[in-house]
Amino acid sequence: MEIQPVAIFHSPFASKFGIPKQSGIIEELKGEIVFEPQYRNPDAIRGIEGFEYLWLIWQFSANKHAANSLMVRPPRLGGNEKVGVFASRSPFRPNGLGLSSVRIDYVEWESHRGPVIHVLGADLMDGTPIYDIKPYVTYADCHAEAQSGFVDERKWCKLKVVLSDNTKARLLTQKGWTDETIAQLQEVLAEDPRPQYQKDPQKVYGMPFAGLDIHFRVIDDVVEVL
């Protein structure tokens, strides 16, 4: 079977670094689903306004190397312990497909790009190809009491983000940046985007976000935006 993208995703993330490790973690993180030309017809999404969430099936397009192992190291396990690839959400998979649940913010029915679905809480990089979109239906998709393996066993602790008044003021002078954008950046950094095996407090990390290159370091459980 050959498949082609039906849409392209647009988000503040120009690289893999910093992207939330799961969808829904950063609830107010904005993104756009822009359809390919042959699907830019309102009929293709007629009725979608009645749903609150969507499933996106997409490609880990930034992974340039084929998966060559059946064992992976999930971040939740500290980046050192291994589990089977099919017992994980690792992006390094035989077919390189991702699955994400996102919340519909609103639908822009008429634009120069055709109908655009604005969503919240996605974990996709800018430019990610989307292969299918399906509505989330509670009666079939929600299993609130289900066990979640090692995810239940390892608590994920957020970091505290320190952003000086001067840095905040500088960010607000940049094109497209608002208090809302800064709040989203803080949420992203609080999730600790570092590789989990790197704990050097002097190491400075760089992360492209919303058109800027954000530099930061982590000391203990505090993120300092530089």
**C-alpha Rg value of the chain to the nearest Å:** 18
What are the 10-residue block averages of pLDDT along the chain, 226 residues in total? 95 93 94 98 96 97 83 84 92 93 96 96 97 97 90 85 94 94 95 85 93 94 94
The confidence score (pLDDT) of residue 164 equals 93
What pLDDT is stored for residue 177 in this prediction? 96
Residue 146 main-chain phi, psi, to 5 deg: -70, 145
User: Token pair for residue 33?
Assistant: 């689903």
d(CA 20, CA 123): 5
- Whether 128 contacts 12, CB under 8 Å: no
Round to whole Å and give the CA distance between 178 and 112.
Answer: 25
Give 34-76 as a DSSP string. EE-GGG--GGGGTTGGG-SEEEEEEE-TT--S----SEE--GG
- pLDDT given for residue 155 in this prediction: 79
In this structure, what token pair is assigned to residue 168? 């905040």
Beta 129-135 vs 97-108: how paired, if at all?
unpaired
* Global confidence as pTM: 0.90
CB 177 within 8 A of CB 185: no
CATH second-level architecture of 7-141?
Beta Barrel (2.40)
Report which DSSP code applies to 86. Answer: G
Query: Rounded to an integer, what distance in angstroms lies between the CA atom of residue 158 and that of residue 191?
Result: 5
Query: What is the distance between the alpha carbons of residues 154 and 152, in angstroms, rounded to a whole number?
Result: 6
Write out the residue limits of the CATH 2.40.30.70 domain(s) in the chain: 7-141
Q: Report the alpha-carbon distance of residue 61 to residue 128 in Å, rounded.
A: 6
Look at the block and give the residue holding tokens 């990089």.
125
Q: Compute the distance between CA of residue 95 and CA of residue 10 in angstroms, rounded to an integer.
A: 22
